[in-house]
Amino acid sequence: MNKTLFSLLGCLIFFCGAYFSEAQTREIITLKKGWKFKKGQHPSATKVDFDDAKWETVTVPHDWAIYGPFDKEVDKQTVAITQNGEDIATEKTGRTGALPYIGEAWYRNTFSLENFDDTKKVLLLFEGAMSEPEIFLNGEKVGEWKYGYSYFYFDVSKYINGKSQNTLAVKLTNEGKSSRWYPGAGLYRNVRVIIKNNESFEQWSTFISTPSISLDEAKVNIKTKAFGTDLKLVTEIYNKDGNEINSKETSTIINNEFEQNIKVNQPQLWSPETPYLYTAVLKLYKGDILKDEITQRFGIRTIDYSPNTGFSLNGETRKFKGVCLHHDLGPIGTAVNRSALQRQLKILKDMGCNAIRSAHNMPSFEQLELCDEMGFMFLAESFDEWKKPKVENGYNRFFDEYAEKDVVNLVRATRNHPSIVMWSSGNEVPDQWGSEGVKRAKWLQDIFHREDPTRPVTVGMDQVKAVMESGFGAIMDVPGLNYRVHLYDEAYERFPQGFLLGSETASTVSSRGIYKFPVEIASMKTYPDFQSSSYDLEYCSWSNLPDDDFVLQDDRPWVIGEFVWTGFDYLGEPTPYDEAWPSRSSYFGINDLAGLPKDRYYLYRSRWNTEDETLHILPHWNWQGREGETTPVFVYTSYDSAELFLNGKSLGIQTKNNKTNQNRYRLMWIDVKYEPGILKVVALDNNGNPAAEKEIKTSGKPYELVLDSDVKTLKANGEDIAFVTVSVVDKNGIPCPTATNQLQFKVEGNGLYRAACNGDATSLELFHLPTMKLFSGKLVVLVQSTNKVGNIKLTVTGDNLEKGELIITSKK
């Protein structure tokens, strides 16, 4: 690829709310409430008259396994993880979160279609079902799928009982040894019923692109397919304020496909800094009668990957400052929730992150919509496994039959999102070895190109020597390297593309607020408490420290960016403690499982957030028993120099330098002797003058609980969540960073207690119970709205502590 211009893509507004109607031409029912759920084998559950009265009533999205309990025997795998360079199989506990996701389960629901008749078409759409779903409607099987991360739909028109009640049953089967991380379980994304006319738009057929853009005008190209004869397409374009700016009508249809080109004057370009979104309203007429109408948002932007400039957006060269995200949302598991996703993105936005990689599976529609709105570029990934297995019961079982269908659904359902700037067909697949793997890579890449010729395709490659020799890396649009920083220069010389992407970087491990001595760089370091040091100097055998990637990003213009493993901790993969118990979640996150920033957050922020000041001190300053012992102090800051003071005495000025990679990006006072009191850092500007300061203090005993919510109001929709950070302070209001008090939570008024999380990877306390220990002085309580407006009161108590109270308002 010498130079390829990958143009704008827009964002499909799919469905919102429990019920949605577009000009009365179609109806969309979101089946959220009224589901009956039961785990175990229930073959008669397909029958309409099956008695499910004693089954549990749940709301979808739903993850049955997140409620626990944690058990080391769940999916215990004896395996050598080749991606980690292991040759000998060992017992891995907690690899998939130690949560009971394995087994068969059933969901049942009923719905009625008041406006149904023979002129209607009905689709049943699933946005994610974990896993191997089999779908039954009114006692008959309408179809099945295999991949738990795929979106899929069936035309169920012939199974519908007219205007009477329809009974939907869904069977899900999760095999053991089918995943490398916690996959979740259940109908964890939305289920929709779509009722439309026979003369209508084909599902996911609309494709919006902008092949020509200048300062004065942009050409918006629209392709869409429709069912019927004597049809006419009218498209209206609206700006962000809802004003119509252009429209077009056409009756020319070839092979059931319309195509239009519509001009937009003085286009506003989409970018992470200015995520401007337009809206296209497509209306389908038969004669003069409106038969169907769909609304899609899109953005106008260009992307380019070139050996001369690397990656550019709207003609501006820039680098990906990205993170990888697994799909679980910590204490609520994999059940998709818009407010939880939005909170994650707000935290990442403040850090200066501009890109997300969905690892290692298809993203939710909600995540993509938020990235469009908030301004994040997106690397949308499809698979973690192709034909050759990583785990015994993984996707390899379905690859031959389903891979093309899964890629087609991924691309068609999401290609209109402007946030997506790249596809990934796989991650660290064992198929990197040998000629068959090269053929599979090209086959998959060709499918992506066929369905979307405007974006490039990558694969996260960890077997870099192998892909150099086989040609695997040479055929990819974007060569993505997972780690292997020592091979970047050689790969750049060997590959023809003229640039490289850090598709997965760092895998540095740490536990929030935990510090180990002596402070030293170490690989796979373990401790008796099963924690990792937050000095950010510990990493995995296959990976490296953040600073090593920073050097490549800064010194190699042909490195087009990085995606750090990971933005947040996730359930499962507790490396380096995957052979230890209890450890049931990762240590990789820049933020912990509760969404609380670790120290490493500020290291990335100091480099990525170029708009705001960063000044952060570590470790905490409560070290009773370490008086007089060496306790190094690190400062992560956007300034180049700073002076450190301990109880008013200067410990000297440090300036970033090139002695080591760490010296280049961190300020470090290595020989500080601990004494209780006040540790203060004063940042210096380029002239050596004080520019900012920060201090931390030694605290007394825990005295009072302090509550701080990420939002002040909630939507009274039964889904919105407030994330309340609970911390403990002493009598003088100084945070107590080592407190581990057991707390209790009570929610009153028009809200519900949803869950709590303290970020401790070794905690076996269940998230949904209203009690939990503090970890490093903090935890997070999740308060969820009901459908009623009014006040919600959260009260948090603990023995020998002044209680904390918080009022949140719920509004329509």
Domain CATH code at residue 668: 2.60.40.10
Q: Which residue, 197, 232, 249, sits at the end of a domain?
A: 197
792: tokens are 């919600």
585: tokens are 């979640």
Q: What is the pLDDT of residues 19-59, one digit of tens each?
A: 333 447 999 999 999 999 999 999 999 999 999 999 999 99
Partners of 35 in beta bridges: 58
The CATH number assigned to the domain holding 172 equals: 2.60.120.260
DSSP annotation of 787 reads S
Q: Give me the mean pLDDT over the 674-686 stretch.
A: 98
CA angle 367/373/374 to nearest 5° reads: 85
Q: Which residue, 149, 174, 197, sits at the end of a domain?
A: 197
**Together in a domain, 596 and 632:** no
Cβ-in-10-Å burial (0-12, 13-18, 19+) of 637 comes to buried
Sheet with 191-197, strands from edge to edge, namely: 19-22, 26-30, 191-197, 120-126, 152-155
> Does residue 208 sit within a domain?
yes
How many residues are listed for the chain in this entry?
812
> Does residue 773 sit within a domain?
yes
**Together in a domain, 364 and 289:** no
Asked if residue 74 lies in contact with residue 18, where contact means CB atoms within 8 angstroms, the answer is no
pLDDT at residue number 215: 95
- Directed axis angle between helix 399-414 and helix 435-451, to 10°? 30
Residue labelled with tokens 């499982």: 593
**Which candidate in 199, 293, 385, 428 is catalytic?**
428
Question: What is the band of 349 on the pLDDT scale with cuts at 50, 70, 90?
Answer: very high
Asked if residue 585 lies in contact with residue 569, where contact means CB atoms within 8 angstroms, the answer is yes
> Does residue 525 sit within a domain?
no
- In the chain, how many H helices and how many E strands? 10, 50
Partners of 742 in beta bridges: 773
Q: Give me the mean pLDDT over the 505-513 stretch.
A: 98
Q: What is the pLDDT of residues 628-655, one digit of tens each?
A: 999 999 999 999 999 999 999 999 999 9
For the question of residue 504 being annotated catalytic, the response is yes
Question: What is the band of 83 on the pLDDT scale with cuts at 50, 70, 90?
Answer: confident
**Together in a domain, 86 and 174:** yes
Cβ-in-10-Å burial (0-12, 13-18, 19+) of 246 comes to middle
Is pLDDT at 234 greater than 60 in this prediction? yes
For the question of residue 132 being annotated catalytic, the response is no
Q: What is the pLDDT of residues 687-715, one digit of tens each?
A: 999 999 999 999 999 999 999 999 999 99
For residue 680, the tally of other CB atoms under 10 A from its CB is 19
Q: What is the pLDDT of residues 717-747, one digit of tens each?
A: 999 999 999 999 999 999 999 999 999 999 9
pLDDT at residue number 163: 81
For residue 439, the tally of other CB atoms under 10 A from its CB is 13
**Together in a domain, 275 and 374:** no
Asked if residue 299 lies in contact with residue 267, where contact means CB atoms within 8 angstroms, the answer is no
408: tokens are 């087609």
pLDDT at residue number 16: 32
Cα 379 off chain centre by: 11
415: tokens are 């290609």
Counted domains in the chain: 5
> Does residue 574 sit within a domain?
no
> Does residue 17 sit within a domain?
no
89 or 730, higher pLDDT: 730
pLDDT at residue number 115: 82
Q: What is the pLDDT of residues 516-540, one digit of tens each?
A: 999 999 999 999 999 999 999 999 9
Partners of 342 in beta bridges: none
Q: What is the pLDDT of residues 581-600, one digit of tens each?
A: 999 999 999 999 999 999 99
pLDDT at residue number 308: 83
Q: What is the pLDDT of residues 97-138, one digit of tens each?
A: 999 999 999 999 999 998 899 899 999 999 999 999 999 999
**Which candidate in 27, 199, 381, 504 is catalytic?**
504
> Does residue 184 sit within a domain?
yes
Q: What is the mean pLDDT of the chain?
A: 95
Asked if residue 454 lies in contact with residue 6, where contact means CB atoms within 8 angstroms, the answer is yes
Is pLDDT at 8 greater than 70 in this prediction? no
> Does residue 670 sit within a domain?
yes
Asked if residue 341 lies in contact with residue 366, where contact means CB atoms within 8 angstroms, the answer is yes
Cβ-in-10-Å burial (0-12, 13-18, 19+) of 85 comes to exposed
Asked if residue 151 lies in contact with residue 409, where contact means CB atoms within 8 angstroms, the answer is yes
| Integer Cα distance of 716 and 738 in angstroms | 37
pLDDT at residue number 81: 82
| Integer Cα distance of 527 and 539 in angstroms | 14
pLDDT at residue number 354: 98
The CATH number assigned to the domain holding 401 equals: 3.20.20.80
Partners of 738 in beta bridges: none
400: tokens are 């031959």
Is pLDDT at 304 greater than 80 in this prediction? yes
201: tokens are 């738009």
752: tokens are 């519900």
Share of the chain above pLDDT 90, in %: 94
Is pLDDT at 203 greater than 90 in this prediction? yes
Asked if residue 64 lies in contact with residue 35, where contact means CB atoms within 8 angstroms, the answer is no
CA distances from 310 to 9, 457, 502 (A): 20, 15, 13
pTM of the model: 0.96
**Together in a domain, 601 and 649:** no
Partners of 411 in beta bridges: none
**Together in a domain, 269 and 158:** no
**Together in a domain, 228 and 211:** yes
| Integer Cα distance of 486 and 483 in angstroms | 9
Q: Which secondary structure element, helix H or strand E, spans residue 773, and what is its range?
A: strand 771-773
- What Rg do the C-alpha atoms of the chain give, in angstroms? 27
**Together in a domain, 258 and 379:** no
| Integer Cα distance of 81 and 73 in angstroms | 19
For residue 350, the tally of other CB atoms under 10 A from its CB is 15
pLDDT at residue number 543: 97
Is pLDDT at 317 greater than 70 in this prediction? yes
Range of the domain at 658: 623-697
CA dihedral 209, 211, 215, 218 (to 10 degrees): -60
Asked if residue 502 lies in contact with residue 446, where contact means CB atoms within 8 angstroms, the answer is no
Asked if residue 425 lies in contact with residue 382, where contact means CB atoms within 8 angstroms, the answer is yes
Is pLDDT at 15 greater than 60 in this prediction? no
Question: What is the band of 12 on the pLDDT scale with cuts at 50, 70, 90?
Answer: very low
**Together in a domain, 56 and 83:** yes
**Together in a domain, 59 and 92:** yes
Asked if residue 550 lies in contact with residue 661, where contact means CB atoms within 8 angstroms, the answer is yes
| Integer Cα distance of 134 and 145 in angstroms | 7
| Integer Cα distance of 119 and 656 in angstroms | 71
Residues 6+ apart with CB under 8 A from 324: 356, 357, 359, 504, 563, 564, 565, 566, 567
pLDDT at residue number 7: 35
pLDDT at residue number 79: 86
Is pLDDT at 406 greater than 50 in this prediction? yes
pLDDT at residue number 751: 98
pLDDT at residue number 2: 34
Is pLDDT at 666 greater than 90 in this prediction? yes
> Does residue 16 sit within a domain?
no
**Together in a domain, 404 and 425:** yes
**Together in a domain, 240 and 368:** no
Q: Which residue, 144, 164, 197, sits at the end of a domain?
A: 197
